Chain A
Amino acid sequence: EDQVTQSPEALRLQEGESSSLNCSYTVSGLRGLFWYRQDPGKGPEFLFTLYSAGEEKEKERLKATLTKKESFLHITAPKPEDSATYLCAVRRVGGYQKVTFGTGTKLQVIP
Protein backbone atom coordinates (compact mmCIF):
# COMPACT_ATOMS: atom_id res chain seq x y z
CA GLU A 1 0.00 0.00 0.00
CA ASP A 2 1.27 3.45 -0.91
CA GLN A 3 2.15 5.71 2.01
CA VAL A 4 2.96 9.39 2.36
CA THR A 5 4.26 10.89 5.60
CA GLN A 6 4.76 14.61 5.99
CA SER A 7 6.80 16.32 8.68
CA PRO A 8 6.60 18.36 10.71
CA GLU A 9 2.84 18.49 11.26
CA ALA A 10 3.12 22.19 12.01
CA LEU A 11 5.87 24.75 11.55
CA ARG A 12 6.09 28.29 12.80
CA LEU A 13 8.63 30.60 11.18
CA GLN A 14 9.57 34.21 11.52
CA GLU A 15 9.31 36.21 8.33
CA GLY A 16 12.54 35.72 6.39
CA GLU A 17 13.49 32.51 8.25
CA SER A 18 14.09 29.84 5.60
CA SER A 19 13.19 26.20 6.25
CA SER A 20 12.16 22.92 4.60
CA LEU A 21 9.15 20.67 4.73
CA ASN A 22 9.60 16.93 4.31
CA CYS A 23 7.52 14.36 2.44
CA SER A 24 8.59 10.73 2.81
CA TYR A 25 6.90 8.22 0.55
CA THR A 26 6.59 4.51 -0.08
CA VAL A 27 5.22 3.53 -3.46
CA SER A 28 5.81 0.62 -5.80
CA GLY A 29 7.07 2.62 -8.75
CA LEU A 30 6.67 6.40 -8.61
CA ARG A 31 4.69 7.95 -11.47
CA GLY A 32 4.71 11.44 -10.00
CA LEU A 33 4.96 13.39 -6.74
CA PHE A 34 2.75 16.43 -6.29
CA TRP A 35 2.89 19.45 -3.99
CA TYR A 36 -0.18 21.53 -3.24
CA ARG A 37 -0.89 24.56 -1.09
CA GLN A 38 -4.22 24.70 0.77
CA ASP A 39 -5.63 27.76 2.51
CA PRO A 40 -8.27 27.28 5.21
CA GLY A 41 -11.68 26.46 3.79
CA LYS A 42 -10.42 26.30 0.20
CA GLY A 43 -9.42 23.65 -2.29
CA PRO A 44 -5.76 22.68 -2.77
CA GLU A 45 -3.82 24.82 -5.21
CA PHE A 46 -1.33 23.00 -7.42
CA LEU A 47 2.33 23.94 -6.97
CA PHE A 48 4.63 21.31 -8.50
CA THR A 49 4.85 17.88 -10.07
CA LEU A 50 8.13 15.96 -9.84
CA TYR A 51 8.68 12.78 -11.82
CA SER A 52 12.17 11.45 -11.16
CA ALA A 53 14.89 11.51 -8.51
CA GLY A 54 17.12 14.54 -8.86
CA GLU A 55 14.44 16.72 -10.35
CA GLU A 56 13.96 20.21 -8.92
CA LYS A 57 11.32 22.87 -9.58
CA GLU A 58 11.03 26.45 -8.35
CA LYS A 59 8.28 28.99 -8.02
CA GLU A 60 8.93 32.30 -6.32
CA ARG A 61 10.14 31.48 -2.79
CA LEU A 62 9.42 27.75 -3.12
CA LYS A 63 11.70 25.03 -4.40
CA ALA A 64 10.75 21.35 -4.54
CA THR A 65 13.28 18.54 -4.76
CA LEU A 66 12.92 14.78 -5.13
CA THR A 67 14.96 11.74 -4.11
CA LYS A 68 14.05 8.07 -4.32
CA LYS A 69 12.52 8.13 -0.84
CA GLU A 70 11.48 11.68 -0.09
CA SER A 71 10.76 15.16 -1.33
CA PHE A 72 11.54 18.49 0.24
CA LEU A 73 9.74 21.78 -0.16
CA HIS A 74 12.25 24.50 0.60
CA ILE A 75 10.86 27.91 1.52
CA THR A 76 13.33 30.76 1.20
CA ALA A 77 12.75 33.99 3.11
CA PRO A 78 9.06 33.28 3.69
CA LYS A 79 6.43 35.96 3.98
CA PRO A 80 3.19 35.91 6.00
CA GLU A 81 1.24 35.21 2.81
CA ASP A 82 3.05 31.87 2.54
CA SER A 83 1.11 30.69 5.59
CA ALA A 84 -0.97 27.69 4.54
CA THR A 85 -1.09 23.92 4.75
CA TYR A 86 1.21 22.23 2.24
CA LEU A 87 0.10 18.83 0.94
CA CYS A 88 2.23 16.17 -0.69
CA ALA A 89 0.83 13.33 -2.80
CA VAL A 90 2.15 10.45 -4.90
CA ARG A 91 0.85 8.47 -7.84
CA ARG A 92 2.23 5.06 -8.69
CA VAL A 93 3.04 3.63 -12.08
CA GLY A 94 0.22 1.67 -13.66
CA GLY A 95 -3.24 1.13 -12.27
CA TYR A 96 -5.73 3.96 -12.43
CA GLN A 97 -5.56 7.60 -11.44
CA LYS A 98 -5.20 6.94 -7.72
CA VAL A 99 -3.22 9.54 -5.83
CA THR A 100 -2.26 9.03 -2.18
CA PHE A 101 -2.12 12.19 -0.06
CA GLY A 102 -0.22 12.99 3.10
CA THR A 103 -1.87 14.82 5.98
CA GLY A 104 0.01 18.03 5.32
CA THR A 105 2.29 20.49 7.08
CA LYS A 106 0.63 23.58 8.48
CA LEU A 107 2.99 26.52 8.02
CA GLN A 108 2.60 29.78 9.90
CA VAL A 109 4.86 32.71 9.02
CA ILE A 110 4.92 35.44 11.63
CA PRO A 111 5.65 39.07 10.65
Chain B
Amino acid sequence: DGGITQSPKYLFRKEGQNVTLSCEQNLNHDAMYWYRQDPGQGLRLIYYSQIVNDFQKGDIAEGYSVSREKKESFPLTVTSAQKNPTAFYLCASSILAGDTDTQYFGPGTRLTVL
Protein backbone atom coordinates (compact mmCIF):
# COMPACT_ATOMS: atom_id res chain seq x y z
CA ASP B 1 0.00 0.00 0.00
CA GLY B 2 1.19 3.50 -0.82
CA GLY B 3 1.31 6.00 1.95
CA ILE B 4 3.21 8.12 4.42
CA THR B 5 4.69 6.70 7.60
CA GLN B 6 5.89 8.62 10.61
CA SER B 7 7.81 7.29 13.56
CA PRO B 8 7.72 7.14 16.43
CA LYS B 9 4.05 7.70 17.23
CA TYR B 10 4.95 9.10 20.67
CA LEU B 11 8.22 10.73 21.64
CA PHE B 12 9.39 12.08 24.95
CA ARG B 13 12.27 14.50 25.19
CA LYS B 14 14.17 15.93 28.09
CA GLU B 15 14.98 19.61 28.01
CA GLY B 16 18.24 20.28 26.20
CA GLN B 17 18.02 17.22 23.96
CA ASN B 18 17.73 17.11 20.21
CA VAL B 19 15.29 14.59 18.79
CA THR B 20 14.62 13.45 15.23
CA LEU B 21 11.22 12.58 13.82
CA SER B 22 11.08 10.24 10.85
CA CYS B 23 8.89 10.66 7.76
CA GLU B 24 8.91 8.25 4.82
CA GLN B 25 6.65 8.15 1.75
CA ASN B 26 6.29 5.60 -1.04
CA LEU B 27 3.90 7.65 -3.16
CA ASN B 28 6.68 8.91 -5.44
CA HIS B 29 5.73 12.46 -4.46
CA ASP B 30 8.12 15.28 -5.21
CA ALA B 31 7.32 17.62 -2.33
CA MET B 32 7.34 16.95 1.37
CA TYR B 33 6.30 19.13 4.31
CA TRP B 34 6.44 19.34 8.09
CA TYR B 35 3.65 20.94 10.09
CA ARG B 36 3.08 21.53 13.74
CA GLN B 37 -0.41 21.30 15.26
CA ASP B 38 -1.28 22.88 18.61
CA PRO B 39 -4.71 22.91 20.28
CA GLY B 40 -6.92 25.73 18.98
CA GLN B 41 -4.51 26.64 16.19
CA GLY B 42 -4.38 25.76 12.54
CA LEU B 43 -1.56 23.66 11.18
CA ARG B 44 1.62 25.73 10.85
CA LEU B 45 4.31 25.03 8.28
CA ILE B 46 7.79 24.36 9.63
CA TYR B 47 9.78 23.35 6.53
CA TYR B 48 9.08 22.10 3.06
CA SER B 49 11.10 20.51 0.26
CA GLN B 50 10.30 20.32 -3.43
CA ILE B 51 13.33 18.34 -4.53
CA VAL B 52 16.13 16.24 -3.10
CA ASN B 53 18.89 18.24 -1.41
CA ASP B 54 16.78 21.39 -1.33
CA PHE B 55 14.40 22.73 1.32
CA GLN B 56 12.91 26.03 2.46
CA LYS B 57 11.82 27.47 5.77
CA GLY B 58 8.15 27.78 6.52
CA ASP B 59 6.50 30.13 8.99
CA ILE B 60 7.96 28.69 12.19
CA ALA B 61 11.36 27.17 11.29
CA GLU B 62 13.30 28.49 14.29
CA GLY B 63 14.59 25.65 16.47
CA TYR B 64 14.04 23.01 13.77
CA SER B 65 16.23 21.50 11.05
CA VAL B 66 15.57 19.10 8.16
CA SER B 67 17.38 17.16 5.46
CA ARG B 68 16.27 15.68 2.14
CA GLU B 69 18.90 13.20 1.01
CA LYS B 70 16.37 10.84 -0.59
CA LYS B 71 13.11 11.52 -2.38
CA GLU B 72 11.28 9.19 0.01
CA SER B 73 12.57 10.61 3.29
CA PHE B 74 12.29 13.98 5.05
CA PRO B 75 13.38 13.76 8.71
CA LEU B 76 12.79 16.64 11.11
CA THR B 77 15.12 17.42 14.01
CA VAL B 78 13.72 19.36 16.93
CA THR B 79 16.69 21.07 18.53
CA SER B 80 17.18 22.35 22.06
CA ALA B 81 16.75 25.85 20.63
CA GLN B 82 13.03 25.21 20.13
CA LYS B 83 11.52 26.76 23.24
CA ASN B 84 8.12 25.11 23.21
CA PRO B 85 8.43 21.84 21.29
CA THR B 86 5.52 19.94 22.85
CA ALA B 87 3.06 19.48 19.97
CA PHE B 88 1.65 17.10 17.39
CA TYR B 89 3.91 16.95 14.33
CA LEU B 90 2.55 16.07 10.91
CA CYS B 91 4.42 15.18 7.75
CA ALA B 92 2.77 15.57 4.35
CA SER B 93 3.65 15.06 0.71
CA SER B 94 2.33 16.08 -2.70
CA ILE B 95 3.19 15.90 -6.36
CA LEU B 96 4.09 19.14 -8.08
CA ALA B 97 2.95 18.63 -11.66
CA GLY B 98 -0.43 19.63 -13.02
CA ASP B 99 -3.50 20.49 -10.99
CA THR B 100 -3.19 17.67 -8.47
CA ASP B 101 -1.25 19.44 -5.73
CA THR B 102 -3.21 18.11 -2.80
CA GLN B 103 -1.15 17.39 0.30
CA TYR B 104 -1.55 13.99 1.91
CA PHE B 105 -0.68 13.52 5.56
CA GLY B 106 0.98 10.89 7.67
CA PRO B 107 -0.38 9.66 11.02
CA GLY B 108 1.65 12.13 13.10
CA THR B 109 4.13 12.08 15.97
CA ARG B 110 3.22 13.48 19.37
CA LEU B 111 6.26 15.02 21.03
CA THR B 112 6.24 15.77 24.75
CA VAL B 113 8.99 17.58 26.60
CA LEU B 114 9.49 16.31 30.12
Interface residue ranges, A against B (CB under 8 Å)? 4, 31-32, 34, 36, 41-46, 49, 51, 87, 89, 91, 96-104
A46 contacts across to B, CB distance below 8 A? 102-105
Contact A99 B106 (CB under 8 A): no
Q: A101-B43, A103-B41, A103-B42 are in contact. Are A43 and B107 (CB under 8 A)?
A: yes
Interface of A is mostly: strand
B90 contacts across to A, CB distance below 8 A? 43-44
Q: Which residue of A lies closest to B88 (CB)?
A: A41
CB distance from B39 to the nearest CB of A (A): 9
Contact A98 B42 (CB under 8 A): no
How many A-B residue pairs have C-beta atoms within 8 angstroms? Tell me: 60
In the assembled complex, the Cα of A46 lies from the Cα of B94 at a distance in Å of: 12
Contact A42 B42 (CB under 8 A): no
A51 contacts across to B, CB distance below 8 A? 99
In the assembled complex, the Cα of A91 lies from the Cα of B99 at a distance in Å of: 12
Contact A96 B56 (CB under 8 A): yes
In the assembled complex, the Cα of A99 lies from the Cα of B45 at a distance in Å of: 8
CB distance from A29 to the nearest CB of B (A): 14
In the assembled complex, the Cα of A51 lies from the Cα of B100 at a distance in Å of: 10
Q: Which residue of B lies closest to A42 (CB)?
A: B107
B48 contacts across to A, CB distance below 8 A? 96-98
Contact B106 A43 (CB under 8 A): yes
Q: Which residue of B lies closest to A99 (CB)?
A: B103
- From A32, A41, A44, A97, give the contact of B110 (CB < 8 A): A41
